[in-house]
Structure 1
């Protein structure tokens, strides 16, 4: 399997990770590049979006649609830790689900589409979520994990709560650029190189990104910082190594950019974890 095939394969599978922390920490402007669902096992998560705010615990499922930028605070629970499972859903899985159940989604809540990003788990959704995590954590085949992932989406759909995840999925060019950059974070990306791999002209790429209120430079910065955030939260790799892997030649510059964006330095985040 060559690099391109490996990337395509990775983009077509549901994946999960566990976020843990020992101390309260707050992150502002967290960009969501791949649609995901999050459930807190221990502690609570405060979510801020569109001038709204909500506190989520184990009884909730947090919806994290691609393209959003969220404010997040993670609070350790009585046991002394914050622990949450996060499951990401690639665009291909969402498209496949909509092709199969789109009509059901349209009928589930006529005249009303939920816009909340924090929804209370019902019995069916909780059971489907637990089955999905078991499949992912046991290394089940990708097709089986997709089946359980679609079961979670269907439960949300039938209860009228899937709106933020499934509305407006038109695969904008900015998301294609994001996925391209995520395939090789350490690459010295230029707009010319990205345009070549996306089979569009450089001027066309600039113009279409501007039409989406985006820019190549801002996308590259956000992708690198988001990848660094995930690695800081889910691995014990040294901060300097993470900075290099995410395309930063200078660990000090990376630390400045990270703190400016998230309001918390990489070292302070690691201390909280």
Structure 2
């Protein structure tokens, strides 16, 4: 079994790659390019040439780890790039464009994929992190998560079914990810949250009920009805998602108040400021000033 002893000077990403090296080597020695199953919930993917994949849809929620090369995900105009040692999450049913880029060192793009088919009730009942305000699939690594991922992958690969130990190890990973905003998509999400995620990925797009419904596999009237059953409306979802983006822009110091107002859909700075204060209890100027202090 791979040792989980930490080597001095290793980054979390390097340590994770070290732990998963036996799985990567087994895949390279026994299999060619493509998607390959190691166990019921553990897969690897490999390619030897740069490839672009349009509208890739995961049938289950997944945790992915880049083992070699680089990977890009795109949702509209928003994109993220991942390199070896990075961890990402994929929500069930959401279409992305993907680019796989083999490493110059070994000529391979490789990733390890863990299917999340069931989340234990006790994990679901934990307080979760707020979903990210923009397009974000990246999971930040810490020592505990590296250990948990290493244990889970090793346990899953040791059997062709998710036995009790493997299930326990994966539950440990999910417990840690419950606190990570980018991993919110692994857990149950309301229709309003899914719609807000789409809006956040392309805030400048003129979203309509038909457009959002098409992305989520629903008709416009069905979308409106289901949002109503959740106690909200499309208008409220759009306004809340854009206001949250405006707040985050100011918090990160990435734009001025006019930029934030535009993202939120307000032509008037004064109207934006009043609405912002009613939501966050402070003014846009105070938030931006706090980042410049």
SS at match of 1:41: strand
Name the SS for the 2:149 alignment partner: helix
Higher mean C-alpha deviation, range 139-148 or range 32-41 = 139-148
- Match among 111, 117, 121 for residue 84 of structure 1: 111
Q: How many angstroms does 1:120 deviate by?
A: 2.6
The answer as to whether partners of 2:124 and 2:187 remain within 8 angstroms in 1 is no
CA shift in 2, pair 1:46/1:103, >3 Å: same
**Residue 32 of structure 1: CA displacement?**
1.6
Distance 1:67 1:40, change over 3 A: same
Question: Which protein, 1 or 2, shows the higher relative CO under an 8 Å CA cutoff with sep ≥ 6?
Answer: 1
- How is 1:183-222 mapped onto 2 (pairs within 5 angstroms)? 210=219
User: Following TM superposition, by how much is the alpha carbon of 1:212 offset from its aligned partner in structure 2, in angstroms?
Assistant: 5.9
Q: Structure 1 residue aligned with 2:177, among 153, 156, 159?
A: 156
Deviation at 1:113, TM superposition (A): 2.3
* Match status 1:15 vs 2:37: no
Distance (whole Å) between structure 2 residues aligned to residue 169 and residue 129 of structure 1: 27
C-alpha separation in 2, matches of 1:57 and 1:117: 13
Cα distance in 2, alignment partners of residues 156 and 14 from structure 1: 21
Q: Distance in 2 between matches of 1:85 and 1:128?
A: 15
Deviations, residues 139-180 of structure 1 (Å, cap 9, x unaligned): 17522211111111111123444212114168xxxxxxxxxx
Deviations 1:196-252 (A, max 9, x none): xxxxxxxxxxxx975667xxxxxxxxxxxxxxxxxxxxxxxxxxxxxxxxxxxxxxx
2:96: which partner in 1? Answer: 70
Gaps of 5+ in 2: 1-38, 192-216, 224-293
Correspondence 1:104 to 2:126 = yes
Task: Give the Cα–Cα distance (whole angstroms) in 2 for the partners of residues 141 and 44 of structure 1.
Answer: 29
Q: 1:166 to 1:28 in 2, by over 3 A?
A: same
Q: Whose Rg is larger?
A: 2
| Distance in 1 of aligned mates of 2:82 and 2:222 | 31
> Given the alignment of the two structures, is residue 41 of structure 1 paired with residue 63 of structure 2, yes or no?
no
Q: Which residue of 2 aligns with 1:53?
A: 79
Q: CA, structure 1 residues 26+85, in 2 after alignment: closer, same or farther (shift >3 Å)?
A: same
Most deviating of 81-90 and 154-163 = 154-163
Evaluate the alpha carbon distance shift between residue 59 and residue 141 of structure 1 in structure 2; reply closer, same or farther with a 3 A threshold: closer
Query: CA offsets, 1:2-53, max 9 Å, x none?
Result: xxxxxxxxxxx95111111111101010112111111010111111125310
1:126 positional shift: 1.5
- TM superposition score normalised by structure 2: 0.48
Between the two proteins, the alignment pairs up a number of residues equal to 155
The answer to whether the 8 A contact 2:58-2:90 is kept is yes
Q: Label 1:144 to 1:209 Cα distance change in 2 as closer, same or farther (>3 A).
A: same
SS of the counterpart of 1:158? coil
Give matches, 1:108-119, under 5 Å. Answer: 109=129, 112-114=130-132, 116-119=136-139
Q: In 2, Cα distance between the equivalents of 1:165 and 1:50?
A: 21
In structure 2, the CA distance between the partners of 1:120 and 1:57, relative to structure 1 (3 Å rule), is farther
Q: What SS does the aligned partner of 1:29 have?
A: strand
Contact 1:14 1:142 in 2 (8 A): no
**CA separation of 1:141 and 1:64: change in aligned 2, threshold 3 A:** closer
